[in-house]
Amino acid sequence: MRRVHLIIGVLGVIAFLLTGQAMKHHHPRMDQVPAEVRLMFLSRHIYLLGASLVNVALGLHPQMHPRRWRRVLQGIGSLLIVLAPVSLLMAFLSEPGLGIAGRSWRSYLALLGLFAGVMTHIVAGAGASRIDTTRQAP
């Protein structure tokens, strides 16, 4: 799962950079669109970055727990966290044109999934001993 988090995280950061360029080259210019549409673009853009960075962090610092129930919780949380940037990218592409009332299931489920995924990782790690994944010097 570590590799999946890292790949999704890096792809999400690249998507963040591309959505930034899309806003920079948007026609009409972003400062000419209604404030609520600009807010929708910017919020989805920043949400995408946040979800992507959570994935990068989990991809770089895995902590697998020895107890099965903790690993299962980690797996559930990881799945929710991996899906968040994908859903937020879809939200960036579809929601801004609808204005403030345009919040759809894409952003709602992504943010809820990101929150629930991080919370399950916290519960899985609370008070647990961890498997040492670092290499020992010879």
Q: Cβ–Cβ contacts within 10 Å for residue 5, how many?
A: 21
pLDDT tens, the chain, 138 aa long: 889 999 999 999 999 999 999 888 877 887 787 777 777 888 888 999 999 999 999 999 867 777 888 889 999 999 999 999 999 999 888 877 776 766 678 888 999 999 999 999 999 888 766 555 566 666
Helix-strand-coil percent breakdown of the chain, rounded to 5?
A: 75, 0, 25
pTM across the whole model: 0.80
Contact between 92 and 48 under an 8 Å Cβ cutoff? The reply is yes
Residue count (the chain): 138
Distance CA 85, CA 101 (A): 21
